[in-house]
Chain A
Amino acid sequence: MSRVAEWGRRYAALIRNAWLVDLQYRASIVLWLLWGVTEPAVALGIWWAIAGDGQVAGYARADFARYFFALMLVNQLTIAWDSWYLDGWIREGELNFRLARPLHPAHEAVAENIAYKARTAGMIVVVWLVVSLVWPAVRLPLAPGRWALTAAAVLLAAAMRFFISFTTGLLAFWTTRATAIMELHAGVSLFLSGRLAPLALLPPAVAGAAALSWFPYMLAFPVELLTGAAQGTAIVKGFAGQLVWLGVWIAAYHVTWTRGLRRYGAVGG
């Protein structure tokens, strides 16, 4: 029990610290947020035009609006910038200071993620509420059970994206193009994680391939859980997929961290 309390205290301090740092950069954070929502906004604009007064594979205009609003929120709650930070830390040696601290650097990264997401997702929720006053299409049904499930799925997705980003950033131990690998991952995720369109709108072969990867579980699944598109067995399958892939990425992180650190020590002497 005292161990839990101690970790609670540590995290409270780290999150408070990260929150205050972000406060300094709140205008910059608003711009990153704006940048983050333009892609789904443009995608929504295009699907809006294509749907017209009819439907596209069961999606009418209002469904697209709900889908992409949910996507904006879930994306903001699960996005992880860590690979860019780690790439810089490793190349410029800032990792040294962080390794010298009595706490694993990942904890600080997690705390920064929590503070950042609390701030940006809060802003999106406020904007969403205001928009839903004038635009009924984006209103969500009041369903506490579903919201709780979504919260759990978002947490798992955020954890997975954190480990993906962290692990990819660690590749900077071996290559100078770790961020390029992350860009590549982002390019593929545009299609397979549902950022461009609901997965049901992709060609069946592509959607089938996506289901075998981790991509749908980091975004599309929590989004469809929130909008209500995911029902019954799809929910069970979604959570199972999330847990499996989270385990895989934690293992990948573990291997990369221990091997990379050994290599780093050898170089830094």
Chain B
Amino acid sequence: MRNAESQWRVVPRGQARGTKPIMTFRIPHSALRILAALWRLNLAEELQYRANFVASVLGTLFWIVTALLTLAVFFSHTTRLGGWDYWEVVVLLGVFNALTGVIEAVLRPGIGRLAGEVRSGGLDLVLAKPVDPQAFVSFRRLDIWRLTDVVLGLALAGYALHRLGRVPSFAQLAAFGLALVAAAVVVYALWVVLMSLAFWFVSVENLSVLFDAVYEGARYPVSAYPEALRFLFVYLIPIAWTTTIPASALTGRLGPEIGLVAALVAGAALVLARLVWRTALKRYTGASG
């Protein structure tokens, strides 16, 4: 009886010790705490399905072999692709695979589900939470096994660099690191913009396919494409910044200062994506009301 009574008396923390309730004030690291909690939960969940780890690694190896054979077919008829030789393109493939890992581990299971939620009204549950909806929707899941793609991709890029016989300088490595992070940011921004279309086209549930279609172009250096397409990929749908630029920074095809340019592009992409998201979210009226 006593226990039950004390349970009733549980008061919100803000009101404890007789203080007046104050407005919730989000300190910056509360977001990180929520993220850590969500990802810990995911991790516990995923660790139950260890066979998925093996399947994921096998899938990635199969993909890498397929991509290398594809290149072998192209290079059996040429010595250069858009001015790049074989192992340079393999560096790019490694970057592509590493970014695929980020996409499959975080973006597709997170923001990739947005279209379905806008349609069903499930987004209500997200909006009711006292967190930033864009951040929550984007980073709520972490499919840990797919991060092996990042490791395997970087290993492939490293091996190709070794075959090129190039040892990157510290400046080149730093530029590559910066460009790679910028690439992940650009990919993220693309997902946000494309998935925001869900607020206008409610009935389209496979919007993520749009990203896959666009990203297909990032498998090869942009210099291999005709002029008009190159312009499109550098300035309008900026997928050149996802694979071509980091690979160029690593092989020394572009000077280290490209890292800074990539960071600026990524910043601009992020701001634009945020604006699109906010405009889009205003259109949401819910469906469960």
- Nearest chain A residue, comparing its CB with the CB of B83: A49
CB pair B76–A203 under 8 Å, yes or no, is yes
CB pair B213–A38 under 8 Å, yes or no, is yes
Measured between beta carbons, the chain A residues less than 8 angstroms from B62 are 184, 187
Measured between beta carbons, the chain A residues less than 8 angstroms from B216 are 38-39, 42
How many chain B residues touch A (Cβ–Cβ < 8 Å)?
33
Supposing A48-B226, A49-B225 touch, asked if A187 and B66 sit within 8 A by C-beta, the answer is yes
Q: Tell me, rounded to whole Å, the shortest Cβ–Cβ distance linking A20 to chain B.
A: 15
CB pair A49–B81 under 8 Å, yes or no, is yes
Is B69 close to A, CB under 8 A?
A: yes
- Nearest chain B residue, comparing its CB with the CB of A39: B216
| Interface stretch (choices A2-10, A28-36, A114-122, A214-222) | A28-36
Give CA–CA (A49, B73) in the complex, Å. 14
CB pair B203–A25 under 8 Å, yes or no, is yes
Measured between beta carbons, the chain A residues less than 8 angstroms from B63 are 187
Measured between beta carbons, the chain B residues less than 8 angstroms from A45 are 220, 224-226, 229
- Nearest chain A residue, comparing its CB with the CB of B75: A50
CB pair B224–A46 under 8 Å, yes or no, is yes
CB pair B206–A31 under 8 Å, yes or no, is yes
In B174-209, the 8 Å CB interface with A consists of 201, 203-207, 209
CB pair A27–B70 under 8 Å, yes or no, is no
- Give the interface SS of chain A, mostly helix, strand, loop or mixed: helix
Is B268 close to A, CB under 8 A?
A: no
In A82-117, the 8 Å CB interface with B consists of none
Give CA–CA (A90, B209) in the complex, Å. 25
Is A190 close to B, CB under 8 A?
A: yes
CB pair A28–B206 under 8 Å, yes or no, is yes
Is B210 close to A, CB under 8 A?
A: yes
- Give the interface SS of chain B, mostly helix, strand, loop or mixed: helix
CB pair B220–A42 under 8 Å, yes or no, is yes
Q: Tell me, rounded to whole Å, the shortest Cβ–Cβ distance linking A38 to chain B.
A: 4
Give CA–CA (A197, B76) in the complex, Å. 12
**Interface flags, B49-84, vs A, CB<8A=1, else 0:** 000000100010011001001100110111001100
Residue in B70, B74, B224 whose Cβ sees the most chain A Cβ within 10 Å: B74
Give CA–CA (A202, B74) in the complex, Å. 9
Give CA–CA (A35, B229) in the complex, Å. 17
- Nearest chain B residue, comparing its CB with the CB of A55: B77
In A167-181, the 8 Å CB interface with B consists of 177, 180
CB pair B209–A31 under 8 Å, yes or no, is yes
CB pair A191–B209 under 8 Å, yes or no, is no
Measured between beta carbons, the chain B residues less than 8 angstroms from A183 are 59
Give CA–CA (A27, B201) in the complex, Å. 9
Measured between beta carbons, the chain A residues less than 8 angstroms from B76 are 201, 203
CB pair B206–A190 under 8 Å, yes or no, is no
Is B219 close to A, CB under 8 A?
A: yes
Pairs A–B under 8 Å by Cβ, sample size 19: A25-B203, A28-B205, A28-B206, A34-B209, A35-B213, A45-B226, A46-B74, A46-B81, A47-B74, A49-B81, A49-B82, A49-B224, A49-B225, A49-B226, A50-B78, A177-B55, A180-B55, A197-B73, A201-B73
Partner-A contacts on B (CB < 8 A): 55, 59, 62-63, 66, 69-70, 73-74, 76-78, 81-82, 201, 203-207, 209-210, 212-214, 216-217, 219-220, 224-226, 229
Q: Taking A35-B213, A180-B59 as given, write out 19 further A-B residue pairs in contact, using a Cβ cutoff of 8 Å, ordered by the A residue number.
A: A24-B203, A28-B204, A28-B205, A28-B206, A31-B204, A31-B206, A38-B212, A38-B217, A42-B219, A45-B226, A46-B220, A47-B74, A49-B82, A49-B224, A49-B226, A50-B78, A56-B77, A177-B55, A187-B62
